[in-house]
Amino acid sequence: MNFIRWLPLVMLGFALAAAPARAQQTPPPAPLPPPANPTPLDREYDGQLHITLAPYIWAPNVKLNAQYTIQTLPTRPVHIVAPSIEVGPSDYLPKVDSAFSGAFDARKGIVDLFGDVIYLNAATSASFVGTISGPLGRVHIPFTVDTTARISPAIWELAAGVTLAHNDFADVSFFAGTRQFPISASLSYNAVVGRRGIIAPSGSLHTFDAADDMILGLRGKVFFNQRIFVPYYGDFGNGSNNQSWEAYGGAGYAFDHGQTIVALYRALSYFNFPPSAHPQRLNMYGPLLGYTFHI
């Protein structure tokens, strides 16, 4: 009981003894002032929330390895494999019904969230030549197929990243996310096979295959001065029925108001589909022109 009576005095003594020690402690350092002439990356990593939108135009060559089943006469099906069907921008751009492509980025400090959307609705045409094995595989019959197709890809990507390193003029970020590509095609065809016409001379095909991949990659920018910079990006994707990779690089220019314009070369490849899938490999590669602005 005597200890309880003296407890307030003991606590007061400890407080008086600790006061000089606290007074002698070094105060926390003051935050560094912002740079007098901040670079674009200094402004990007100032700890504030930055949201950007980037509409762009991408006009890739599209190269597809695919397999189709075309009805023979009268009932037997035959598999035709097109080893290389390729169409360029001049084949589909004059027949575009609607298109949209754009990206967004939301960054605060070293953490960012970004996405990308590509939509194209266009018609195109292509021809390919091959051979069909005749009875018992002893006869090889040449064939020619002319197709008119409706291309309707809708590719979207969403990922989150963290900056691994950055300074006034360069940065590199690691990211993880998902990329979805529903590959749908509607084709009308006219076929000429040998002289006997064993394949139905015309018809239509409708296919749908979805490629959903989890992606991992690196991206960033390197500035040579306050204006000129090089953006770069690379990822690898893996899904339940395919694998993929995407990469781009090029040059950019930063304006005084913070907006930028970029000219890039972009490539996207899907491969390693199962043998029964309609697409076997898909490559899209070509120039890209984009403009980025803040909201």
CATH number of 2-294: 2.40.128.90
Digit-coded pLDDT (tens) for 206-260: 667 778 999 999 999 999 999 999 999 999 999 988 999 999 999 999 998 889 9
Digit-coded pLDDT (tens) for 198-214: 555 666 666 677 789 99
Could you state, in order of their start, the residue ranges of all structural domains in the chain?
2-294
User: Which of 34-38, 81-85, 228-232, 256-260 has the highest mean predicted lDDT (pLDDT)?
Assistant: 228-232
The secondary structure element, H or E, covering residue 26 is none
- Name the token pair of 219: 């991206």
pLDDT at 251: 97
Cβ-contact 189, 202 below 8 angstroms: yes
